[in-house]
Amino acid sequence: MTISSEGTTLDPWYEQYASRTAGLSASEVRALFAVASRPEVVSLAGGMPAVSALPLPVIAASMERVMSTRGPAALQYGSGQGTPELREQILEVMALEGIRAGVDDVVVTTGSQQALDLVAKLFLDPGDVVLAESPSYVGAMGIFRSYQAEVAHIPMDADGMIPTALSERIASLRAAGRSIKMLYLIPNFQNPAGVTLSSERRLAIIDIARSEGILIIEDNPYGLLWFDRPAPAAMRSVEDDGIVYLGSFSKTLAPGFRVGWALAPHGIREKLVLAAEASILSPSSLNQMIISDYLAHADWKGQIDVFRGLYRERRDAMLEALEQHLPDLTWEVPNGGFYVWVGLTEGLDSKAMLPRAVKELVAYTPGTGFYADGQGRQHLRLAFCYPQPAEIREGIRRLATVVRGEQELLETFSATGPIPAVAYDPHVAAPPPNIG
């Protein structure tokens, strides 16, 4: 047993950890998500793709072809940059969003999460600042925190990040002597807010970043999953040298393959390959070859259309249920992606409300998970990607019961202070679902 400055720990190695491990902390609501994984709970929390809609026999055929024709190579170490075949095919995927690049500019990674981690490892020193949308992706903030960087949030509206607010924040940070290393953006159907950065603002933000010498990280896992109209062309399509573009097959194919990529300027790309080799030697040859075979033999563009229709139907079910059961709340209508960002009425706290929601057999992600500075209590994220429309409607009905109960309690007991959270037992837990 070790006595630390923060109390007693049962970890005998506590005093030996590097200082950067202080940034490796579990979500405050992790245990609640474990409870929410029970089958009777309608989970509107996790950003899990609807993999049941995939053509599983087609994917199985790709697996069989790879093993029967290229088995030894598929099971061997490969290039730290990824197979040339898959990198060529990735160029075809990115061309759908206006990107033109060379095969040597692409680095295949173990999901785009690893690509983001490698970029952060290359650029961030303790105390550096990362600019990010307000709110922003929880997994990215965890990475930045693990490298002891500070996240500075920039306000958004229905058209995405506000350029004037970006300029003002940069100026204030520069005046304070802070080192700004990068601007992290999810421009298409943003996680968690669901909004899309307008074409005009993309160009304005690129100009600001270029003039300030700030690297843009364009994270784009949802860009092809539009509903009514495509998102504007990728930022990387108009700027080569100042943007690292991150892509993934997790949302357009399946997350189980763990295959993503980074498209980076030459100097950064060279260092990304070296960092990837130091970290994992090489991405999975087997998984890359399976995806290559699938892209070569399957109607992968048609499958993306299938996903678009499925997610559009589920989005519509969620919006209709919100209008029916919770018309006094606020939200933006996403034109793609997985999420609806919901604003609560004054006085409600999404984090404190979650235990009560789980007791009513519905789960969501509190807004606090998407900020580095404690904001977000008056917002929650609802994911429509995984549940069936009927489950979504029932989940919103249950959520409405919780919200109405909270509103009534607030009206009755507001003079007595905050409403206490309901106790829960984390020991009745299965592994928590993905909240990415």
Instruction: Tell me the per-residue pLDDT of 281-327, one tens digit each, with 9 for 90 and over.
Output: 999 999 999 999 999 999 999 999 999 999 999 999 999 999 999 99
> Residue 298, Cβ neighbours under 10 Å: how many?
17
Q: Which amino acid is at 244?
A: V
291, 380: one domain: no
Measured CA to CA, the distance from residue 197 to residue 234 in angstroms comes to 10
* CATH (domain of 358): 3.90.1150.10
116, 37: one domain: no
| Residue at 116 is within a domain | yes
131, 256: one domain: yes
Q: Which residues pair with 343 in a beta bridge?
A: 330, 379
272, 357: one domain: no
| Residue at 4 is within a domain | no
| Residue at 279 is within a domain | yes
How much is the pLDDT for 257? 95
Measured CA to CA, the distance from residue 331 to residue 131 in angstroms comes to 24
* Joined tokens for residue 21: 């491990």
Total length of the chain: 436
* Residue 256 exposed, middle or buried by CB count within 10 Å (0-12, 13-18, 19+): exposed
* CATH (domain of 67): 3.40.640.10
Cα separations in angstroms, 51 against 145, 256, 294, 311, 320: 31, 10, 15, 12, 24
How much is the pLDDT for 19? 77
How much is the pLDDT for 27? 58
Residue 335 and residue 198 in contact, taking contact as beta carbons nearer than 8 Å: no
92, 182: one domain: yes
Q: Which residues pair with 219 in a beta bridge?
A: 246
| Residue at 328 is within a domain | yes
| Residue at 429 is within a domain | no
Measured CA to CA, the distance from residue 67 to residue 294 in angstroms comes to 13
Measured CA to CA, the distance from residue 179 to residue 242 in angstroms comes to 17
| Residue at 430 is within a domain | no
* Joined tokens for residue 249: 């097959």
288, 308: one domain: no
Q: What is the pLDDT along the chain (436 residues), one digit of tens a residue?
A: 455 555 566 778 777 778 777 766 665 545 555 666 678 899 999 889 999 999 999 999 999 999 999 999 999 999 999 999 999 999 999 999 999 999 999 999 999 999 999 999 999 999 999 999 999 999 999 999 999 999 999 999 999 999 999 999 999 999 999 999 999 999 999 999 999 999 999 999 999 999 999 999 999 999 999 999 999 999 999 999 999 999 999 999 999 999 999 999 999 999 999 999 999 899 999 999 999 999 999 999 999 999 999 999 999 999 999 999 999 999 999 999 999 999 999 999 999 999 999 999 999 999 999 999 889 999 999 999 999 999 999 999 999 999 999 999 888 876 555 555 554 444 444 434 444 6
What's the farthest any 2 CA atoms get from each other in the chain?
72
* Residue 76 exposed, middle or buried by CB count within 10 Å (0-12, 13-18, 19+): exposed
Measured CA to CA, the distance from residue 54 to residue 50 in angstroms comes to 8
| Residue at 293 is within a domain | yes
261, 331: one domain: no
3-state secondary structure at position 365? strand
How much is the pLDDT for 34? 65
Q: Which amino acid is at 365?
A: T
224, 257: one domain: yes
Residue that terminates a domain, selected from 275, 297, 319: 297
Measured CA to CA, the distance from residue 362 to residue 341 in angstroms comes to 16
Structural domain boundaries enclosing 232 = 57-297
Q: Which residues pair with 381 in a beta bridge?
A: 341, 365
78, 165: one domain: yes
DSSP assigned state of 197: -
Please give the full DSSP string across 75-142, using - where no structure is assigned: TS---TT--HHHHHHHHHHHHTTT----GGGEEEESHHHHHHHHHHHHHPPTT-EEEEEES--HHHHH
Measured CA to CA, the distance from residue 316 to residue 273 in angstroms comes to 42
Residues 6+ apart with CB under 8 A from 69: none
| Residue at 421 is within a domain | no
Domain count, the chain: 2
209, 222: one domain: yes
* Joined tokens for residue 84: 């040339």
76, 200: one domain: yes
Cα separations in angstroms, 413 against 170, 408, 419: 43, 9, 8
Residue that terminates a domain, selected from 269, 297, 325: 297
Its pTM stands at 0.90
Strand-by-strand arrangement of the 150-157 sheet: 106-109, 260-263, 243-248, 215-219, 180-185, 129-134, 150-157, 160-161
Residue 114 and residue 137 in contact, taking contact as beta carbons nearer than 8 Å: no
Q: Which amino acid is at 50?
A: A
DSSP assigned state of 408: H
39, 134: one domain: no
Residue that terminates a domain, selected from 276, 297, 318: 297
Measured CA to CA, the distance from residue 424 to residue 428 in angstroms comes to 9
